[in-house]
Amino acid sequence: MALIVFAVGRDADFLVAGVPAAARVVREARLAGMASCEVLAGSGWQPNAITRSETQRLCDSMPVVFGPAVSGNDAARARARVAVIRGDAMPPAQAIADAVAGRNEPVEGIEIAYGHGIDEAIARAMSARHDAAERLRVAGRNILRSTAKPTDGIVSRYINRPVSQALSAIALRYPGIAPIHATIGTGVIAITMFASLLLGGESGLIAGALLFQAASIFDGVDGEISRATWLTSNAGARMDSLLDAATNLAFLLGVAINLQMQDRVLGASLGYTGLVLLAMGLFLIGGVAARSNAPFSFDLVKEHYRAKSAGGVVDEKPSQIMQWLTFMTSRDFFALVFALLIAFGFATLVLALFAIAAAGWLVAVILALVPKHA
């Protein structure tokens, strides 16, 4: 069994990247294979509602008992071989499993105790209280940093992600925050962006472009919250993808309408042309997906261009050209570039680039899908 010890109840209830510290350590103990778990803290402590509910969510079927830090003379506990875990150390599951199995050097914050030696181990864990809150804050920052994706491009890695993680850190200070709240926030920014573009004029155009970049940044928050709190779901991922696509289309349509309202016919025509070409490509992908009873996915196109010419085997690593195309067509990159171009008065160039990209994309879709389904 595992005994998770906090010096005071406040530390056990402390939100570490949105999840109470006690619940986080309980989850790691479960993943380490512990059969049961007891969480101890200061005299008279009982977990608050958030700690109790999050522990129940993350412990799965492992029995968990809460109580104050009392003597370890309970008969069942005294006969057991116990992993005494200092809660503020927040060791990962592998470290706990290795410590229990005796496969590693002593790990800070984990002590294997037997019989009446459990009391001494609890006392030692209780004595490390002077820097517990700071340890938990550092752990929260590290957890948020780990929510970055390995596929992040340069813009996302050095501009968008630091800002979105700072926003996520603020949001996760509030109990009950969930990814859907951030998704709604992104939707509100997107609606405000489209409304700004429809106001017309250069001021509306610039405001819409800046809000498009803001939506691109804020879009990272829901994913960061979900990964930090283990609240990921397929439904949430689909909703996020649909919102991304809707925001992109609303921006391009809004810019075209804005230019039309300013009698800038060339720019508006390029925007509408690009949207029509994009819709044609989406229609082709949707038709292929419907005929094969598969979900709508851009993977139908991606897999074609990742396949080797000999035998159609998919490469482990995409070519340099595909890597650059993926980077240049990623939302974080073109949102920033389009915002800057519009801010400097090149809105027509933005829609020209979009029309060219849409035409190239349509050709790529046709080449990928038509030979397979002719």
The C-alpha atoms of residue 353 and residue 341 are separated, in whole angstroms, by: 11
Return the number of other C-beta atoms located less than 10 Å from residue 127's C-beta: 10
Of 343, 336, 364, the residue nearest 154 (C-alpha):
336
Three-state DSSP class for 16? strand
| Residue-wise pLDDT tens digits, 154-172 | 899 999 999 999 999 999 9
Residue-range domain boundaries for the chain: 2-140, 151-373
Q: How confident is the model at residue 309 (pLDDT cuts 50, 70, 90)?
A: very low
What is the pLDDT at residue 71?
A: 45
> Could you tell me which residues come within 8 angstroms of residue 186 by beta carbon, excluding any fewer than 6 positions away?
215, 218, 219, 221, 222, 243, 247
**What is the value of pTM for the model shown?**
0.85
The confidence score (pLDDT) of residue 294 equals 63
Per-position b or e across 245-259, b if 16+ CB within 10 A of its CB: eebbebbbbbbbbbb
81-86 vs 110-114, strand pairing mode: antiparallel
Q: What is the pLDDT of residue 370?
A: 66
pLDDT of residue 113: 85
Q: DSSP letter at 107?
A: P
Phi, psi of 16 (to 5 degrees): -105, 105
Phi, then psi, of 126 in degrees rounded to 5: -70, -25
Q: Write the DSSP assignment of 26-52 as a string of letters.
A: HHHHHHTT-S-EEEEESTT----HHHH
- Is the Cβ–Cβ distance between 176 and 226 less than 8 Å? no
Give the long-range contacts of residues 173-177, CB within 8 A, separation 24 or more. 173/15, 175/15, 175/50, 176/50, 177/18, 177/225
Residue-level pLDDT at 318: 55
State the Cα–Cα distance between residues 128 and 119, nearest whole angstrom. 15
Secondary structure (DSSP) of 215-250: HHHHHHHHHHHHHHHT---HHHHHHHHHHHHHHHHH
Q: Give pLDDT, residue 72.
A: 46
Fold topology of 151-373: Four Helix Bundle (Hemerythrin (Met), subunit A) (1.20.120)
CA–CA separation, 255 vs 348, rounded Å?
A: 9
pLDDT tier at 292, thresholds 50, 70, 90: confident
DSSP codes of every residue in 258-300: HHHHTT-HHHHHHHHHHHHHHHHHHHHHHHHHHHTT----THH
Length of the chain in residues, anyone?
Answer: 374
Highest mean pLDDT among 94-108, 110-124, 181-195, 274-288: 181-195
Q: DSSP states of 143-157 as a string? A: HHHTTS-TT--HHII
Lowest mean pLDDT across 2-16, 39-53, 272-286, 288-302? 288-302
Using a pLDDT cut of 70, give the percent of the chain over it.
85
- For the record, the structure tokens of 160 come out as 């968008």
Angle at 137 between CA 66 and CA 227, to 5 degrees: 80
| pLDDT at position 307 | 60
φ and ψ at 2, to 5 degrees? Answer: -120, 135
Each residue's pLDDT tens digit, 323-371: 555 555 677 888 999 999 998 999 999 999 999 989 988 888 888 776 5
Q: Per-residue pLDDT tens for 31-87?
A: 999 999 999 998 888 999 999 999 999 999 999 999 765 444 455 555 567 899 999
Burial of 370 (0-12, 13-18, 19+ CB in 10 A): exposed
pLDDT in tens, 88-130: 999 999 999 998 888 767 778 898 888 778 888 888 888 766 7
Count of CB atoms situated within 10 Å of the CB of 349 = 15
